Each structure stands twice: as C-alpha cells, then as structure tokens.
Structure 1
Amino acid sequence: MSNAPHFNIDVAAFWADPYPALAKMRAEAPIAFVPQLGSTVLTRRDDIFVTEKRIDVFSSHQPAGLMNKLMGHNMMRKDGDAHLAERTAMFPSVSPRTVKDVWRKQFQAHADRILDELAPQGSADLVKAFALPLSGECLKNVTGLTNITYHEMDAWSQAMIDGIANYTGDAAVEARCHAATAGIDAAIDDMIPVLRQHPDTSMLSVLLSAGMAMESIRANIKLAISGGQNEPRDAISGCVWALLTHPAEYAKVIAGQANWLDVFEEYARWIAPIGMSPRRVAQPFHYRGVDFEPEDRVFFMFGSANRDEACFADPDVFDVSRDHAKSIAFGAGPHYCAGAFASRAMVADVALPSLFARLGGLRLDPREPVRIGGWAFRGLLNLPVAWENAPPN
C-alpha cells in the first residue's frame, strides 16, 4: 500500500456531491489514500495530466479489476501496442470524417423524430423523454446493435456502470451487470450474420471486417455501451439544466458570444459525466512524496482535476465563455476517449440546438426538484421541464 496520507469520506455524501471533499483533498492531501474506496486518489489536474501518460507505472491493464471480470478485456484495460491495435481497428467507425458524413445525419433524424412526438406535450422529464432515447438510438447505430430498443441500451449501460463501480461488492448489482452483458452478447450474435452480409460503418461491422478476435469484439462493444450511453445522455440533460439555471450564460449563446460546443465543453468540465478513471500500479514509483507500490489501485479524479483552482479561475462557476484548454473531461493520455467526436456531435451539433429551437419558453418545472448524483459517473437523475407548445419546423 502507498504511504499517501489517509483521507476519509462519507460515501453517501460523496455520491450526492463529491466536490467539497475533492476541494479539501486538493488543498490538504492532493494525493491521498481513501479507505472507503480502497484506492489512492489523485485530485490535482497537473498531477493527473503528467501521471496518466506514465503507462509503465500507472497501467490500465487490470486483470483483477471489475471491468475485466464483468465486461471482458477491452481496449481501455490495455496499454501500448495492444491498446493501439484495437483503438486503430475501431477508429473508422468513430473518426471525425465518419461522424460528419454518417452519424451526424442519423443523430439529427433521431432528434427530429423524438422532438416531433415530444413538442406537443408541453412538459416532460427531459432525461427520460429526450436525453435517454436520443443517446440510446444514436448508440444503436454507432455500435451496430440496431436489433435492440433504446430502453435496453440504457438499462444495460447503467447495469454495467453500476457493476464496474461496485467497490462494495453488492451481489445484486453484480447480478444485474451479468444479465446486461449476457443480453449484449445475444444481440451481437443476432447482428453478426446481418453485418457480414451488409457491412456498414458501425463498430461491430468495422471490428468484424478488421478480423478482431470475437472475445475482444464483445468486450469493446460493451465498453462502447457502458460509456457511450450515459455520457451523452447525462451531458445533454446536464447542459440543459445548466443553461436553465444560469440564464446569463444562455444569453451568451443567444447573443453569439458562445456556441453550443462551448456549452458542452464547459458542462463536461464543471460536472464531468465520467469523473474517475482507475489504474493499477505496475512498478515501484515515487511522486510528490508518495511511494506507490506494485498492485496499488489508483483513481485519477477527472472531476476534481477540472475544478482545480490552480488551472481554472472560479472553478465552481459555470461559465460558457471559459477557456477549456486545460480541461481533461475526456482524459489526457493515450486513453483519450475514442468516442469524443461522436459525443460532441450528438450533444453540441444536434441535441442542444434542436431542443432549444423546438421547445419555446423552455423552463424548469417547479413542482419537482432536480436530482443529481454520482462521483465515478455523475449526472442528472431527472429534469422536469415545461415549455410552450410549438409546431414542427
């Protein structure tokens, strides 16, 4: 175990709002062992930016980790050439060109259809009525699993997310994760003959064409679902909530002083949908007075890094005109999120402009409070809103 100073947290309070504890850690113990998480956590942006690139020390390869045991050995849990080979094989399905030429049009079609049904209603929980179905429908296309429903996509994603963050060993959480991965395997099996006969730019089709081993294909599709559903879902609803609760920031967008991508980048900094990335210490290492020992578990706290006072002025403030150059919401090293281009397109190019254009007078519904939670994965649990009915464009 590392000799990092110990820092105790209240797990329930940390789930409800991790930022006060993270700020205290940055100030008092920026590298600390948190007994309740069984891990040494790094909380300052520059420390994470430097150490995440040291894959010889802070390895993504975690044979005993929850992700490997529950989802299979995917590229996020590989380093060096093994990681690069699988990332390269997947790249044609999520490249900037593919996103622009293929996925953006499909994303827009899904958004338009969902909004056509939603607009006449006048009120809704936007998490369930828009963010969740849009993210799910888009991810069905990107992964190639068009044979499932968006409800299944979301439920399976959440079950895997809960499973890989199940550091307390809850047996029911693990069982739900196993059920989800079995469902994904069955959906993959159904789509393989279809995509072999009619190949496209989906992940499953591209990975099949690349000749990747089937166990790796399954693991990487599960990886894409685990992060590719919740991150844009939570970013869509979170951005809307942030703008509705910060009208001066929304006014900047309306006035052309900021754009929708600025909104997305600032929200991902302010409340990172993916707030943590785990690593395994591969060899003895000394850094900033802390000795790391082999097999220690380390958490890079992206959510903390993006509120580091040393890098961002007034970091707790949502400010769409902020410079985001130092944000590491998508990671900082070789494991930089492969789906970042698709996520930006879904949220900034499609979801936000379409939603605000169609739902005139969009506002929070005061009859129900907005709930938000999580620290490894953080997002809105609901978003009750109302608007003026608007005719289709």
Structure 2
Amino acid sequence: MSSAAIQDIDLKEFMSDPYPTLKYFRKNSPIAYVPQLNATLFSKHQDIFICEKNVEIFSSVQPDGLMTKLMGQNMMRKDGDAHIKERKAIFPTVSPKTVKNFWKNHFVEKTNKIIKNIGKKSELEIVSEFSTQVSAEALKLITGLSGMTWMEMDRVSQGMIDGCSNYIGDPAVAKNCEDCTRSIDLHIDAQLKDPNLHDNPSLLSSQLDAGLSMETIKANIKLAISGGQNEPRDAIAGTIGTLLNNDSQLKMIKSGSKSWLQAFEEYARWMSPIGMSPRRIAKDFNYREVYLYENDMIFFMFGSANRDEEI
C-alpha cells in the first residue's frame, strides 16, 4: 500500500453518495489510502490532471483488475501503441464527422419514435420509460447489435457495471456479470451472420475491417456497452429532472439565453457520468511526498475533480 494518509470510510454511505466524503478528502487529505477499497484515492483536479497522463507510472494495464477478468482486456486497459491501434480501429465509428453526418439522424429518428409512443401519457417515469430506451437504442446502432432488445442492452450494461465495481467480491454480482457478458458474446456471434453487417460504420464492422481479433472486438464492444448505456441514460434523465426542479434554469433554455448543450455540460460536471478511473502503479514512484509502490491501485476520482473548489 502507498504511504498516503489512511482514511477510513463508511462503504455503504460512500456507495450511496460519495460527494460529502470526497469534499472532506479534497480539503483534508487530497491523496488518501482507503482500506475499505484497498486503493489510494486522488481527489484534487490538479493532481489528477498531472498524473493521469503519466501512463508509464499510472498504468491502465490491469491484468488482475475486475474489468479485465470479467470483460476481457479492452482498449481502456491498454497503454501506448496497443491502445492507439484499437482507438484508430474504432475511429470510423465514433469520429465527430461520423456522428454528425451519419449517426445523428438515426439517433433523432429513434428518439422521435420513442417520444411519439409516450406522448399521450399524463405522467412519465423519465428513467425507465424514456432515457433508458433512448440510450439503449442509440447503443444498439453504435455497437451494431441490432438484434438485441433495448431492455437486454440495459440489463447487460448494468450487470457489467455492477461486476466491475464489485470490490467486496459478492458472488451473486459476479455470476450475473458473467451471464451478461455471455449474452453479449451470443449476440455478437449472431450478428456476424447478418449480410448487411457492413452497411453502417458500427463498432463491430469497423473493428472487423481493421482486422482486430474476435477476442479484442468482443472486449471493446463490452466496454462500449458497460459505459455507453448507463452513463447517457443517467445524464439524460438527470439533466431533465434537474431542470424540472429548477424552473429559472429551464426558462433560460426556453428563452434561448442558454442552450441544452450548456445544461448537459453543467450536469455532467456536477454529477460526473464517469466518477472514477482506476490505475495500477507500474513502478515505484514518489508524488508530492507520497510513496506509491508497484502494483498499488490508484483511483482517480473524476467526480471529485469536477467539484474542486479551486477550479
């Protein structure tokens, strides 16, 4: 373990709402070892900004990490040339130009259809009846898994997220995660038989065109699903819910003085869709008089950095 100051946490309380604890850390212990997580947490924006780029020390490669064990070694768990190769392979799918000229119209079409189906409702549960489906339908397009239902897309995403954050080793959570990854593998195998597979620049077709191995392709699609469903789902619903509870902010958007994009960006800062990024210390290192030792686990707390009072 690192030489950082030891800070104990109430794990249940932290999982429910980490922000009060992280606020305390920023003020009193910006780099802290948390025994309950067996990791050293970085909570200040400047420290994270400096260290996350130093991949020779703060490595994404985590062969013993939960994500790698449960989903395979995807591009987010690789550094240097290996990461760049796979990033280039998916660029035809996720480039700003492709999103603007190809995906946007499909997203709008799917969303309008969902809105039409719920338009006559007098009441609406935003997460389950709207944002979950909007996010899942978009993800079906991006991944190329058109044969998967939007309900199954949401299920497997949540199952993998739960599995990758299962630091207490709950066997039921691990078993469910394995079932979810198995479902994704089966849907990919089925999609490979689709004669129209290469009609659009999906993650599946782009990686096949780039000649990546099937093991790598499946790992990267699981990566896209693990974060690409719950994060947009929660950001869409959260932005809507927050605006409905803050009428003055909503009026600014309706009047045109502020944009929907500004609302989304502020919500994503306030309630970070990606709250944390784990890294492994590749070799012994001293940062600001804190000794970090090879194979120590580091958590860069993005959610905390986005609330840093010094920014």
Same fold (TM over 0.5): yes
SS in 1 for 2:194: helix
Look up the match of 2:99.
99
Look up the match of 1:263.
263
SS in 2 for 1:124: coil
Write the distance in 2 (CA, Å) between the matches of 1:222 and 1:285.
32
Change (3 A) 1:196 1:4: same
SS in 2 for 1:120: coil
**What do the CA deviations read for 1:270-299 (whole angstroms, capped 9, x no partner)?**
001210010000011111120000000000
Write the distance in 1 (CA, Å) between the matches of 2:246 and 2:198.
47
Look up the match of 2:189.
189
Identity %: 51
State whether structure 2 residue 148 is matched by structure 1 residue 148.
yes
Structure 1 residue 157 displacement after superposition: 0.2
Using the size of structure 2 for normalisation, the TM-score is 0.98
Write the distance in 1 (CA, Å) between the matches of 2:17 and 2:148.
34
**What do the CA deviations read for 1:49-78 (whole angstroms, capped 9, x no partner)?**
110000000000000000000000000000
| Residues 191 and 197, structure 2, Cα contact 8 Å, conserved in 1 | no
Write the distance in 2 (CA, Å) between the matches of 1:73 and 1:135.
24
* Amino acid aligned to 1:271: M
**How many equivalent residue pairs?**
311
Structure 1 residue 195 displacement after superposition: 5.4
**What do the CA deviations read for 1:292-343 (whole angstroms, capped 9, x no partner)?**
00000000000000000000xxxxxxxxxxxxxxxxxxxxxxxxxxxxxxxx
| Structure 2 unmatched ranges of 5 or more | none
Look up the match of 1:290.
290
SS in 1 for 2:5: coil
**What do the CA deviations read for 1:154-181 (whole angstroms, capped 9, x no partner)?**
0000000000000000000000000000
* Amino acid aligned to 1:134: V
| Structure 1 or 2: more helix by fraction | 2
Structure 1 residue 193 displacement after superposition: 2.5
Q: How is 1:4-23 mapped onto 2 (pairs within 5 angstroms)?
A: 4-23=4-23
Q: Bigger shift: 210-219 or 14-23?
A: 14-23
Write the distance in 1 (CA, Å) between the matches of 2:296 and 2:134.
39
Structure 1 residue 199 displacement after superposition: 3.8
* Amino acid aligned to 1:252: M
Look up the match of 1:41.
41
Look up the match of 2:134.
134
| Residues 33 and 39, structure 1, Cα contact 8 Å, conserved in 2 | yes
* Amino acid aligned to 1:149: T
**What do the CA deviations read for 1:227-263 (whole angstroms, capped 9, x no partner)?**
0001100000000111112222112212222111111
Write the distance in 1 (CA, Å) between the matches of 2:200 and 2:271.
35
| Structure 1 unmatched ranges of 5 or more | 312-393
Q: How is 1:210-289 mapped onto 2 (pairs within 5 angstroms)?
A: 210-289=210-289
| Residues 58 and 280, structure 1, Cα contact 8 Å, conserved in 2 | yes
SS in 1 for 2:61: coil
Using the size of structure 1 for normalisation, the TM-score is 0.78
Look up the match of 1:352.
none
